[in-house]
A and B are shown apart, each in its own frame.
Chain A
Amino acid sequence: MSDFEYASAPESRAIANIASNYGLFIGGKFVQPKKGKSFNTINPATEEVLSKIGYADKSDIDAAVKSARSAYLKVWSKMPAKERGKYLYRIARIMQERAREFAVVETLDNGKPIRESRDTDIPLAAAHFFYHAGWADKLEFAGFGSKPKSLGVVGQVIPWNFPLLMLAWKIAPALAAGNTVVLKPAETTPLTALLFAEVCQQAGLPEGVVNIVTGDGVTGAALVNHPDINKIAFTGSTEVGKSIARAISGSKKTATLELGGKAANIVFDDAAIDEAVEGIVNGIFFNQGHVCCAGSRLILQENVADEVLDKLKKRMSLIRVGDPMDKNTDLGAINSKEQLNKINEISNAGDKEGANRWSPELKLPSKGFWFPPTIFTGVTQSHRIAREEIFGPVLSVLTFRTPAEAIEKANNTMYGLSAGIWSDKGSKVLWAAKQLNAGVIWSNTFNKFDPASPFGGYKESGWGREGGRHGLSGYLTAEAKVNK
């Protein structure tokens, strides 16, 4: 195999004009935080500082919400829906024009392979705006009553795993439905959101319709608790999601929450094994496993377990780990030291609890944050690595004998975001899909996303859906429900 080594094929970073510092985007302009505080954002693959970012506190949040409220009342809610849609189309087009720049900045700030930011994150983010642009003037046909109304000002808090894509999932439907937004990107990945602010300027989006406030969890909490917010949309951990739900339980605010997962990826013995192995790899190692819907529990039918694991290990040995800017890289950097510590902590618990760890031999870069692709075999359902969301490139392998046992194991979790099924028998696939308690079922595929396809979880994986017709409902008033 080593006869044909890949030569490095680095993407140029010249296209990325990252400013040395960024303010907050409030009322259509970049402004300095009132207290003048800032924090650094780094490249997790090299630990180099990329830029200094404004830190928004309560007073900045207040200014952003005021700006969003004013834009809502004076401009956005009064504008003909057709025109609202055209702004969204403009945004989609500018994002497509600047796609390469976005991809480079995303990879530098996040650590994900350029191949993924270029081929997945950025095109999907633009597609999300294009898709929702079309809904803006067709909402009365969406099945939520003949006169669906916007909610007002939406506070949005997004994670670091798909920074621009999560921004698109949040902002596009909110704006299409006629709301204005204050969005807080994740502390470790603010850059593409700030680049997006420039796109809003280029698109001539009315001031205050989109506001971007950067900071940490304290900033996010200030946004969630601001009294003049109508709705919270959050993607992140179940723990933080619950704290948000508690914080708003006594208020009039509603919420959609896209939270954690511990997806089962079930391989039946009649599956096309080679395809299943590719699906397993994509399921857990896509985006370094920093995916809420990652297929992190592999559930193998016992009689094919050895064959699948042999092939999986072989395939894992070919995963190229390293420089995210190299177009050949499969697995990039872990997004932060904090996250790396968390992955290490839970993986070490896997060792302690008696599971068997395996990783291919490889050399990790000396700087930055890295974790090798890893599988644990001999995992039982009570192990922490089988119950907790690791959010890293770590796969726990369990086995089953009967289909009923597979379903029971798959559903034995507080989460219910996604699941995978591998089988060549149609009736079995549909049977399993029906039994699995999860909002997204990938059968004979995994980790597929599309603006037209609703995404969201059962049980403690959250409230509501994003994407598709269903995702619109989170940004429109309900007909039969009474607001709190």
Chain B
Amino acid sequence: MSRIDVNKTYKLFIGGAFPRSESGRVYEIKGADKKFIANPALASRKDLRDAVVAAKSAQPGWANATAFNRGQVLYRMAEMLEGRSEQFINEIISLEGVTKKAAQLQISEAIDCLVWYSGWCDKLSSISGSQNQVSGPFYNFTTPESLGVVAVFAEAKPSLLATVRALAPVLAGGNSAILIASENFPLPAISLGEVIATSDLPGGVVNILTGKASELIPWVGSHMEIDGIDLTGVSKKQEEELRLAGVDNLKRIFRFSNTDHPERILSFMEQKTIWHPIGI
């Protein structure tokens, strides 16, 4: 008789811990072959609020880490993902129904994406900041700063790559993130939590919720301590809902094309301009 597998319980990732949903709810995930894979948590409004509390309290520490340090942590995530790639292959194959080769390629791209954004952390001021030539005896400069807490709705597929592609730029800019995993393809996102937990990223900088986006969207849109939203993964109708509710605290809300670009980092940063007189 063959050995019985020890299956993973897929839980949430909040404040550096892996709790179940406070609601006690789960939902069923089936693979491309329609067979049962897992019962991930069905996150509630309360789980979202807990995630925001964790994200908000972790964010200043992350933003105030040196950019060099943030870059190293993102690079560390790439290292951890590389080491755990086997774990992701099976998840991607069974969820997306793709070949092993395609799954491997997706993981490689996700790792390279982390490396790419890792290198951006300490170059943002160089490409988007400036010393401004004002007409007067003033030293005047502009530099980007982190926005705060960003909610991320990544595209459903390719499940791991789309998640990393959306998450990495948010982190590179010094923000903390609340990742709302794809409803139907959430497993790589949850396993990414294990990568994050072993990458020296302070607890709470990334929080991962699984469940129904449609249930969480009204609360994400109206939460006054979420500062930005990447809504690349939501439908047109959900986008409208998020944008309308997001006006309450003028959230910075964007949808991105399927590329890696520093604009994805800078969209979730604020530009600060500082004046000082020159004189004796």
Contacts and interface: CB of A to CB of B under 8 A. Distances in A.
Given A143-B127, A249-B243, A443 B274 contact: yes
Contacts of A445: 138, 275-277
A374 to B, nearest CB: 27
Interface stretch (B30-38, B100-108, B189-197, B253-261): B253-261
29 contacts: A127-B135, A245-B247, A246-B244, A249-B246, A259-B250, A438-B272, A439-B270, A440-B272, A441-B274, A441-B275, A442-B275, A445-B138, A450-B132, A454-B142, A454-B271, A455-B273, A459-B227, A459-B249, A463-B250, A470-B271, A479-B263, A480-B256, A481-B254, A481-B256, A481-B263, A481-B267, A482-B232, A482-B255, A484-B255
A340 interface: no
A249 B245 CA distance: 9
Centre residue among B128, B239, B270 by max chain A CB count within 10 A: B270
B261 A440 contact: no
A450 B272 contact: no
Please provide the 10 A-B residue pairs with the shortest distance between their CB atoms, ordered closest to farther.
Answer: A480-B261, A450-B134, A249-B243, A480-B263, A249-B244, A245-B247, A482-B255, A441-B274, A452-B132, A250-B240
Contact of B130 (A246, A441, A468): A468
Contacts of A440: 272-273, 275
Contacts of B246: 249
A242 B250 contact: yes
A460 B249 contact: yes
Given A440-B273, A481-B263, A481-B267, A454 B132 contact: yes
Interface string A188-204: 00000000000000000
A210 interface: no
A105 B136 CA distance: 27
Nearest to A447: B275
Interface string B224-257: 0001000010000001100110111110101111
Contacts of B232: 482
A70 B130 CA distance: 36
A414 B135 CA distance: 32
Contacts of A452: 132-135, 140
A433 interface: yes
Given A440-B272, A445-B277, A470-B128, 10 more contacts: A143-B127, A143-B128, A249-B247, A443-B274, A444-B277, A452-B133, A453-B140, A454-B273, A459-B249, A481-B257
Interface in A167-194: none
Contacts of A249: 240, 243-244, 246-247
A18 interface: no
A278 B277 CA distance: 14
Contact of A480 (B252, B257, B273): B257
A469 B244 contact: no
B56 interface: no
Contacts of B76: none
Contacts, number: 119
A257 to B, nearest CB: 7
B264 to A, nearest CB: 6
A448 B257 CA distance: 38
Contacts of A439: 270-273
A465 interface: yes
Interface string A450-484: 10111110111011010011100000001111101
B231 to A, nearest CB: 10
A470 B269 CA distance: 12
Contacts of A481: 254-257, 263, 267
Contacts of B140: 450, 452-453
A259 B133 CA distance: 25
Nearest to B254: A481
Nearest to A460: B250
A463 B267 CA distance: 11
A443 B275 contact: yes
Interface string B116-154: 000000000001101011111010101000000000000
Given A250-B243, A484-B255, A468 B250 contact: no
Contacts of A480: 256-257, 259, 261, 263-264, 267
A75 interface: no
Nearest to A430: B274
A241 interface: yes
Nearest to A238: B250
Contacts of A468: 130, 132, 142, 273
Contact of A482 (B135, B142, B244, B256): B256
Contact of A441 (B128, B132, B263, B272): B272
B196 to A, nearest CB: 24
Contacts of A429: 276
Contacts of B257: 480-482
A433 B247 CA distance: 27
Nearest to A458: B270
A249 B255 CA distance: 13
Contacts of A442: 275
